[in-house]
């Protein structure tokens, strides 16, 4: 008689967001100081009215970065910045980070110095303190885990669940460039592997490559919103792509959304580069991740305030849940938007 | 003409503690809220007098654990507990954790469920909230990074740097068992690999195996010390081994220490098991890690208080720096104590 095999469900059947929902569905909260647990850009902890915001992320060599074209100093910078971006997305100010690193013996002390130089540069640029961490070894590759800690004010923290029909959808900066920067570096890598004598010329593609290799957290936007006394109704940072991240806001707020293709900010260099790759620029903006711009919604009454602020674009409107997530194309059609999430598995 | 090669220093030349010191030596602190940065069991952040304590750790498959004998549920439990132990070592109370996990496609959803069941069991046992994290993929193996956040009181936090000559050295519980548990499981693994039909009998070795596979953080001791109104002068959790961890206290406090062999608590089962492995029990206690007991120093005037408390042992005395770290053996000799740290590289 054959023995019963235990059931095996592949992680790919769940996908990223499904897996997180599944693993965290039974969590109990024991402490009254825990205001917000799993499910936003960051957790929120109350210290007698003084709020601490905490976010954490892990980056794995070969999954999230390729050291063939990602300089270690830039990698250190990006590892910090991508976490600070989560704190900004709560409308909070990042203050501290902890860093855990696992490395194989392939890496030298000098390589670690480069990585840490990048992390320190990010800490200096954002006035954040590296307060702790762990350094350990791995059998293969480099793994970086960063936890960012920020400070928020009770009436100003912004969650993913506050959007309501009629709110305007706003996007900072421009989208799609980081994704195209990655495509470009991947192509140069393939060319180099075929012929190591070919020197890549990335000079003309500074914007896209720079957005991928040295992203910034939009801390400046948090300051600008604060000065304008404008508190968004919902906010998230665009790390997975506009579609995915807007889907998170819609799902948690119980609303729908319509995005105007003409309202999605795309840099002119990004448009040209997309065409070189035979890609539709709007698709790069909707589904390419790692731009670390902010996506937020504001009450209609704040529309005049937003028009005066630099580098913020109105890209659509929150609708009733039943209307779903739609894209209104420049050709006048309405398409469904699909959130892709990561597909590492 | 040959090109100059860039200098390459092997990480093994520095060792764990040397590498951390090297990487963090130039860190600047930007925020007045950062009270304690790198260099203790946890960082300390001030929120208007309300202190947040933060600690982080990374565990890598094949380096820190072997899934052949480490059940995933126990691993999840241990990953949480080892971080809570760092918070306890600050004389603070753990309140929240964040967890980042990277997994290869070797792992199923059911395997993740086991891991998270262990983490949830630890959160429930210690009344701690899992408030966030990241789930991503790895090319190979399982990597777990946990950040623990705790609450401390300004006058009661205990650092590594407060020990002074004349203070008594105290140890909770018993030492060396986790190390022997690991040796035992490693031996059983080798036997199994040679002959898969051999069933291991670990029943008689419950203590050692239990200490290795299901360690606990000594939160109970933090409560006991608090009730006794006893604030240690310095404290650390014993994760690397008594010698290493006492070395940290001595180095940061600028003192020496003498440990009495007869004062080091070793369980009778541990002694018997050590002898089976031809190991000296005191060496297992001094250099075996992962017991997660607390090592602390108290002012002489508190000695009567400590004598009344359960499961705490006086194991020596803090001396002047010049005297170094010594072991006073039961045979009456004095040996130098050497801190080993990890040697994963």
Residues of A in contact with B139 (CB under 8 A): 60-63, 140-141
Helix, strand, coil shares of chain A, percent, nearest 5, are 35, 25, 35
Q: Name the class of domain B168-336.
A: alpha beta
pLDDT digits (tens, 9 = 90+) for B239-295: 999 999 999 999 999 999 999 999 999 999 999 999 999 999 999 999 999 999 999
B24, B127, B141 ranked by CB distance to A30: nearest: B127
The reply to whether residue B140 touches residue A137, judged by beta carbons under 8 angstroms, is no
Strand intervals (E) in chain A: 34-36, 43-47, 50-60, 93-103, 129-137, 143-152, 168-172, 234-238, 256-260, 293-298, 312-319, 325-328, 334-336
Residues of A in contact with B34 (CB under 8 A): 95-96, 129, 131
**Structural contact between residues B143 and B59, judged by C-beta atoms closer than 8 angstroms:** yes
**Structural contact between residues A134 and B56, judged by C-beta atoms closer than 8 angstroms:** yes
Count how many Cα atoms sit within 13 Å of the Cα of residue B239 in the half-sphere of its side chain: 23
The reply to whether residue A110 touches residue B7, judged by beta carbons under 8 angstroms, is yes
Length of chain B: 345
Residues of B in contact with A96 (CB under 8 A): 31, 33-34, 43, 45, 54
B247: closest CA of chain A, how far (Å): 18
Report how far residue A247's alpha carbon sits from residue A263's, in angstroms, rounded to the nearest whole number. Answer: 17
Domain boundaries, chain B: 29-152, 168-336
Over its length of 345 residues, how does chain B's per-residue pLDDT go in tens digits? 445 667 899 888 887 778 888 888 888 889 988 988 888 888 999 987 789 999 999 999 999 999 999 999 999 999 999 999 999 999 999 999 999 999 998 999 999 999 999 999 999 999 999 998 888 989 889 999 999 999 999 899 999 999 999 999 999 999 999 999 999 999 999 988 998 888 777 777 899 999 999 999 999 999 999 999 999 999 999 999 999 999 999 999 999 999 999 999 999 999 999 999 999 999 999 999 999 999 999 999 999 999 989 999 999 999 999 999 999 999 999 999 886 644 443
Q: What is the pLDDT of residue B3?
A: 52
Mutate to test the interface with A, among B109, B111, B117 (most CBs of A within 10 A): B109
Contacts with B116 (C-beta within 8 Å, 6 or more apart), sequence order: A23, A24, B76
Report how far residue A59's alpha carbon sits from residue A73's, in angstroms, rounded to the nearest whole number. Answer: 14
Residues of B in contact with A135 (CB under 8 A): 16, 19-20, 23
H helical segments located in A214-294:
219-227, 242-253, 268-276, 281-287
Residue B39 is given by DSSP the state: T
Count CB-CB contacts under 10 A for residue B211.
28
**Structural contact between residues A243 and A107, judged by C-beta atoms closer than 8 angstroms:** no
Q: Whose CA is closest to A294, among A242, A239, A237?
A: A237
Q: What are phi and psi of A161, to 5 degrees?
A: -105, 15
Burial readout A94-116 (b: 16 or more C-beta within 10 A, e: otherwise): bbbbbbbbbbbeebbbebbbbbb
The reply to whether residue A132 touches residue B103, judged by beta carbons under 8 angstroms, is no
A6, A64, A109 ranked by CB distance to B110: nearest: A6
The reply to whether residue A136 touches residue B13, judged by beta carbons under 8 angstroms, is no
**Structural contact between residues A108 and B9, judged by C-beta atoms closer than 8 angstroms:** yes
Residues of B in contact with A25 (CB under 8 A): none
B28, B100, B116 ranked by CB distance to A58: nearest: B100
Count CB-CB contacts under 10 A for residue B181.
28
ipTM: 0.90
Q: What is the pLDDT of residue B340?
A: 60
Report how far residue A266's alpha carbon sits from residue A274's, in angstroms, rounded to the nearest whole number. Answer: 11
Please report, for chain B, how many H helices and E strands are present, in that order.
10, 13
Over its length of 345 residues, how does chain A's per-residue pLDDT go in tens digits? 445 667 899 888 887 778 888 888 888 889 988 988 888 888 999 987 789 999 999 999 999 999 999 999 999 999 999 999 999 999 999 999 999 999 998 999 999 999 999 999 999 999 999 998 888 989 889 999 999 999 999 899 999 999 999 999 999 999 999 999 999 999 999 998 998 888 777 777 899 999 999 999 999 999 999 999 999 999 999 999 999 999 999 999 999 999 999 999 999 999 999 999 999 999 999 999 999 999 999 999 999 999 989 999 999 999 999 999 999 999 999 999 886 644 443
What is the bridge-based pairing of β-strands A312-319 and B234-238?
Answer: unpaired
Domains B29-152 and B168-336 share a fold: no
Write out residues 7-66 of A within 8 Å (CB-CB) of B.
7-14, 16, 19-20, 22-24, 26-31, 33-34, 36-38, 42-43, 45, 47-48, 50, 52, 54-64
Write out residues 142-181 of B within 8 Å (CB-CB) of A.
143, 145, 147, 149, 151
Write out residues 123-142 of B within 8 Å (CB-CB) of A.
123-124, 127-141
The reply to whether residue A140 touches residue B135, judged by beta carbons under 8 angstroms, is no
Q: Whose CA is closest to A247, among A239, A232, A257?
A: A257
The reply to whether residue B149 touches residue A344, judged by beta carbons under 8 angstroms, is no
A30: closest CA of chain B, how far (Å): 5
B242: closest CA of chain A, how far (Å): 19
Please report, for chain A, how many H helices and E strands are present, in that order.
10, 13
Crossing angle of helices A206-213/A268-276, nearest 10°?
100
Residues of A in contact with B159 (CB under 8 A): none
The reply to whether residue B131 touches residue A95, judged by beta carbons under 8 angstroms, is no
What is the bridge-based pairing of β-strands B256-260 and B312-319?
Answer: antiparallel
Contacts with A323 (C-beta within 8 Å, 6 or more apart), sequence order: A256, A258
β-sheet with A256-260: strand ranges across: A234-238, A293-298, A168-172, A312-319, A256-260, A325-328, A334-336
Report how far residue A232's alpha carbon sits from residue A162's, in angstroms, rounded to the nearest whole number. Answer: 9
Yes or no: domain A30-152 corresponds to CATH 3.30.1330.10 = yes
The reply to whether residue B110 touches residue A149, judged by beta carbons under 8 angstroms, is no
Whether the CB of A72 is below 8 Å from some CB of chain B: the reply is no
Count CB-CB contacts under 10 A for residue B286.
24
Grouping H, G, I as helix, E, B as strand and the rest as coil, residue A112 is: helix
Q: Whose CA is closest to B123, among B97, B92, B99?
A: B97
Report how far residue A57's alpha carbon sits from residue B53's, in angstroms, rounded to the nearest whole number. Answer: 19
Task: Give the CATH superfamily of B29-152.
Answer: PurM-like, N-terminal domain (3.30.1330.10)
The reply to whether residue B135 touches residue A30, judged by beta carbons under 8 angstroms, is no
Residues of B in contact with A53 (CB under 8 A): none
Q: What is the model's pTM?
A: 0.92
């Amino acid at each position: 008689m054959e023995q019963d095999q235990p059931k095996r469900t592949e992680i790919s059947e769940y996908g990223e967001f499904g897996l997180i929902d599944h693993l965290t569905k039974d969590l109990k909260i024991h402490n009254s100081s825990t205001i917000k647990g799993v499910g936003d850009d960051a957790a929120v902890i109350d210290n007698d009215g003084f709020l601490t915001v905490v976010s954490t992320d892990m980056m794995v060599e070969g999954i999230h970065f390729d050291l063939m074209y990602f300089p270690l100093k830039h990698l250190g910078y990006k590892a910090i910045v991508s976490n600070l971006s989560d704190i900004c997305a709560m409308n909070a100010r990042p203050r501290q980070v902890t860093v855990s690193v696992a490395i194989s013996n392939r890496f030298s002390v000098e390589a670690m110095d480069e990585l840490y130089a990048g992390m320190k540069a990010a800490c200096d640029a954002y006035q954040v303190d590296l307060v702790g961490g762990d350094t350990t070894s791995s059998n293969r590759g480099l793994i970086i885990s960063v936890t960012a800690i920020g400070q928020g004010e009770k009436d100003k923290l912004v969650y993913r669940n506050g959007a309501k029909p009629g709110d305007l959808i706003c996007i900072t900066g421009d989208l799609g460039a980081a994704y195209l920067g990655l495509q470009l570096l991947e192509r140069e890598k393939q060319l180099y592997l075929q012929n190591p004598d070919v020197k890549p010329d990335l000079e003309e593609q500074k914007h896209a490559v720079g957005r991928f290799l040295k992203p910034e957290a939009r801390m400046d936007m948090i300051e600008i919103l604060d000065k304008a006394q404008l508190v968004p109704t919902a906010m998230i940072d665009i790390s997975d792509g506009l579609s995915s991240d807007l889907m998170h806001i819609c799902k948690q707020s119980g609303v729908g959304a319509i995005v105007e293709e003409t309202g999605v900010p795309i840099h002119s260099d990004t448009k040209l580069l997309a065409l070189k790759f035979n890609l539709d620029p709007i698709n790069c903006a909707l589904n390419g991740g790692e731009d670390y711009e902010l996506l937020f919604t504001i009450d209609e009454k704040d529309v005049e305030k937003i028009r005066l602020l630099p580098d913020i674009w109105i890209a659509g409107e929150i609708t009733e849940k039943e209307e779903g997530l739609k894209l209104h194309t420049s050709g006048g059609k309405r398409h469904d938007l699909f959130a892709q999430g990561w597909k590492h598995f």
